[in-house]
Every structure is written in C-alpha cells, then in structure tokens.
Amino acid sequence: MAKYGKWLGGGLGWVLGGPIGSVVGFVVGSLFDHSDWDINEINESDGYSQPGDFAISLVILAGAVMKADGHRLRSELNFIKDFFRKNYGDEKTRELMIVMRETIDQPYALRDVCLQIKANMVHPARLQLMHFLVGLAQSDGAINVYELVVLQQMASYLGINHDDFESIKAMYTNDDQSVYKVLEVSPEASDDEIKKSYRRLAARFHPDKVSHLGEEVVAGAKEKFQQLTNAFETIKKQRKMK
C-alpha cells in the first residue's frame, strides 16, 4: 500500500472529518506512506474543496447508487473505472477503486454525507457530482425506480433544485423533448426565453467554476457544458433561430 496514497492524501481536506471521514478514514490512512506524509498536515484545510475531496465524495455517492436496487452490475463498475481512468489515470484509479471496495458496504447516513458535501463544496462542483451519478445510473441503459429515488434524495440533500436535476437527467436522454429539458424550458417557450435560459445555465455550468478542483474535474465539466451547448444549437437549428 505504501506506493499509493500520495496523490489522494495530498488532495484531501474536509472529507477526513465528519461522516465521510468516519467511512473512509481507516482505508485512506492505510494508503499513506507515513515516511513521506504527515497525517496532521493532510488534515489541514483552507475551507475549499481539493481534488481528492471531490474524488472521495464521488466514490461514496457512487456506492450508494450502485446499491440502490440491490444489484451491482458490471456495466456500472466499468462506467466508474472508465470515468476514473479517463479523468485521473491508472494509478489514481487504483487508489479510488481500493477506497470504493473497502467502503461500499459500510453503513452511513446518506443525508449526513450529502450535507457535509453541501457545506464544503461549491454549487457547480455539486452539479458535476450529480452529472456523474446520473450517468452511472444510466450506464446499464435505463435509470430504474430505486436508483431514481436515491438520486432525487441526493439532489435534495446536496441543494440541487428540481429543474437542475431534470436538466442533468435529460442530458442522458435522446428524444425531441430532452433538449428543452436540458435548457430548463418548455417547447412552448419563446426564442428569447430559450436564449435567456441558455445564458443563465451557461454561466452556472461553466468549467471555470470548478477550476480549483483540478484539470480532471474541469474536463468533466467541459463535457457537461458541451451537452448544454449542443442542446441549444439543436433548438436553434430546429427553429431557425438567429
């Protein structure tokens, strides 16, 4: 284990305390090379989320989605691994998968974990978390009713409103209505209303809002931002908007 933990340990702040710390504290501690890291220094936080805080939060909430329907599917596990490899690389993926393996069956209060995240993570980063979690639930082809209930609970606890949640969910749907849901407008909305909503959401979902969490999280935010832009461009083309 000594060769792992340097990226993870160096990027952890507030997640080592509170309910998340209770879940992951032991396994994260076992990843540290104590000859190189001082656990007291690692626990210090400037009040802002660090890259490791986002990653650990994602792992814990992903475990809750995987357990929602009582089945842990290979498609879900592959989705998580592929996401980690794409955004964090092989070594960091190994660390995160160790944390997931050791913590997925630990009991914890989902509400308390989400409230800890809400208190310490900016809203755009929480939107990015939810985007990943919806994608995870959708990875087997459909979001079942049990997963949907858990996702809605998470959104509520994380301070993500209904419209934003439905917008993110629509990003994984391919039909004529989904592009309007992505932009949080109805098909009856005027062109001006659509443009106004796009500008508002573009500011809210902009990748610069999560730049403090590292290039990995920014990359995921760019993908989500592109989906928002694609929805707007689709509507413009359909309506022949200028």
Question: DSSP of 53-115, one letter per residue?
Answer: HHHHHHHHHHHHHHHTTS---HHHHHHHHHHHHHHH-HHHHHHHHHHHHHHTTS---HHHHHH
Count of beta carbons in the 10 Å neighbourhood of residue 236: 15
Instruction: Indicate if the pLDDT at residue 4 is higher than 60.
Output: no
- For helices 74-88 and 51-67, angle between their N-to-C axes, nearest 10 degrees: 170
pLDDT at 188: 85
Are 121 and 57 in contact by the 8 Å Cβ rule? The answer is yes
Measure the CA–CA gap between 135 and 140, rounded to whole angstroms. 9
pLDDT at residue 38 is higher than 50? no
Model pLDDT, residue 152: 97
Q: Are 182 and 167 in contact (CB under 8 A)?
A: yes
User: Is residue 2 over pLDDT 60?
Assistant: no
Question: At a CB cut-off of 8 Å and minimum separation 6, what does 54 contact?
Answer: 121, 125, 128, 129, 213, 214, 217
Give the pLDDT confidence score for residue 48 in this predicted structure: 61
User: Each residue of 191-222: pLDDT tens digit?
Assistant: 888 889 888 888 887 888 777 766 767 777 78
pLDDT at residue 44 in the model: 42
pLDDT at 8: 66
CB 217 within 8 A of CB 51: yes
Token pair, residue 22, equals 């209770």
Find, among 138, 198, 215, the residue nearest to 174 by Cα.
Answer: 138
Indicate whether 170 pLDDT > 80. yes
